Amino acid sequence: MLNKIHLSVITTAVLISCSAMSALPQGYPADYQKVIDAATKEGKVVIYSTTDTKAAGPLIQGFEATYPGIKVEYNDMNSTELYNRYISEQAAGGTSGDVIWSSSMDTALKLAVDYAQEYKSPEQGQLPKWAVWKDKAYGTTYEPVVFIYNKRLIPANEVPDSHTALAKLIASQPDKFSKKVTTYDIEKSGLGFMLSVQDFRADPNYFKTLADVAKGGLSVQSSTGTMMERVSSGENLIGFNILGSYAEARAKTDPSLGISYPKDYTLVLSRVSFISQQAQNSNAAKLWLDYVLSEKGQSILANQADIPSIRNDIEGKNDIDGMTKMLGNALKPIPVDETLLEYLQQKKRLDYIKEWRAAASK
């Protein structure tokens, strides 16, 4: 009995010690300390994410250093796997992710509609209004969607700087680009499908442009990493609808990989995050979400993970302010709102894929 009491005293002392080390963030309400204390007792937070573990690593380390009593269990999946796993776990009523963090904005919002708990982050005032949905789902990044190309095999004067220029380049050299153009497989990648729909909304001639780009046959993939690898090796020459954050990170160490930001319009993706209604570690989930949105967390994303910040007060050029100075009115952020859900209706989705297939195979 004495041993049990002694152990209990030690455990309590450790929790108090951890809580004391986890200082209340500047500018947060005083009662936020209760969230920190409760989160420290929970001891962990489970994240389901499409962000590569390597890219998220500095953020995880920063969070665990800020809140030493809380461990991050990080699960990295593709967007379709994340969606299906989370749905099945919610239906079964078992353990699941406390926080969802997905680059597939439409499917993430669909999950949020049914499963997100309402939580008004203290960081909300630092975000654009289009990045917050009903105090439930939050855009967390500001990532331009780009073209990539092989710098050894495509001369600098041929690099396309618009979607029209991309189509003209391929049409002018059909033999050179035959089966050498890569993009997402919109049937296998939730992110790829969502970006294609956003292209369709941004470009009245989208399917004609797609047909011209696909003249030599497209090489479709389900991941950004595969597309970058193929373009870097020369197996493919050019890729479109690529996440600029991943491309910029790779280009730092890969002299073969070039990046072009389209000037007619540049879609901007924002990874959507929400806390599950059924989160077993609800308080730790709040700490994680707030940390991701905070100046400290966003600075880590922008300057260590090469993922542009959703804020405009981050040191360096990798935030909304920096991107706006570079690309101006070409930037088209995808809002976190119900418009994302339109093409997830089964008939609309199937009809859209059918039309995409027809254009891509002309």
Does residue 329 belong to any structural domain of this protein?
Answer: no
Domain, as residue range, for 106: 2-140+271-318
Does residue 18 belong to any structural domain of this protein?
Answer: yes
Could you give the number of structural domains in the chain? Answer: 2
Does residue 333 belong to any structural domain of this protein?
Answer: no
Instruction: Report the alpha-carbon distance of residue 161 to residue 300 in Å, rounded.
Output: 30
Averaged pLDDT of the chain:
92
Q: Assess whether 352 and 237 both reside in one domain.
A: yes
Does residue 334 belong to any structural domain of this protein?
Answer: no
Q: Assess whether 354 and 220 both reside in one domain.
A: yes
Average pLDDT over residues 225-240: 96
Q: Assess whether 256 and 277 both reside in one domain.
A: no
Q: Output the pLDDT for position 12.
A: 44
Q: Model confidence at 268, in pLDDT bands (50, 70, 90)?
A: very high
pLDDT in tens, 278-334: 999 999 999 999 999 999 999 999 999 999 999 999 999 999 999 999 999 999 999
Residues forming a β-bridge with 266: 331
Q: Output the pLDDT for position 7.
A: 46
Q: Assess whether 230 and 196 both reside in one domain.
A: yes
Does residue 324 belong to any structural domain of this protein?
Answer: no
pTM of the model: 0.90
Does residue 32 belong to any structural domain of this protein?
Answer: yes
Does residue 214 belong to any structural domain of this protein?
Answer: yes
Identify the CATH number of the domain in which residue 356 sits: 3.40.190.10
Q: Assess whether 207 and 354 both reside in one domain.
A: yes
Q: Does the pLDDT value for residue 61 go beyond 70?
A: yes
Q: Assess whether 175 and 193 both reside in one domain.
A: yes
Residues 6+ apart with CB under 8 A from 24: 30, 32, 33, 36
Instruction: Report the alpha-carbon distance of residue 68 to residue 17 in Å, rounded.
Output: 10
Q: Assess whether 65 and 130 both reside in one domain.
A: yes
Q: Assess whether 133 and 7 both reside in one domain.
A: yes
Residues 6+ apart with CB under 8 A from 198: 267, 332, 334
Q: Token digits for 250?
A: 């790779």
Tokens 């209340």 sit on residue: 24
Does residue 325 belong to any structural domain of this protein?
Answer: no
Instruction: Report the alpha-carbon distance of residue 135 to residue 133 in Å, rounded.
Output: 6
DSSP state of 25: P
Q: Assess whether 119 and 238 both reside in one domain.
A: no
Which is nearest to 228 in space by CA: 206, 200, 199, 254? 254
Q: Assess whether 34 and 100 both reside in one domain.
A: yes
Q: Edge-to-edge, what's the strand order for the sheet holding 137-139?
A: 71-76, 44-49, 99-102, 272-275, 137-139, 132-133
Which letter, b or e, does each residue of 211-244 get, where b requires 16 or more Cβ atoms within 10 Å of its Cβ? bbbbebebbbbbbbeebbbbbbeeebbbbbbbbb
Q: Assess whether 200 and 345 both reside in one domain.
A: yes
Q: Assess whether 217 and 290 both reside in one domain.
A: no
C-alpha distances (whole Å) from 184 to each of 192, 243, 336, 360 are 5, 11, 22, 12
Is the distance from CB of 322 to CB of 155 less than 8 angstroms? no
- Find the angle CA(238)-CA(243)-CA(249) to the nearest 5 degrees: 90
Q: Output the pLDDT for position 361.
A: 86
Is the distance from CB of 196 to CB of 189 less than 8 angstroms? no
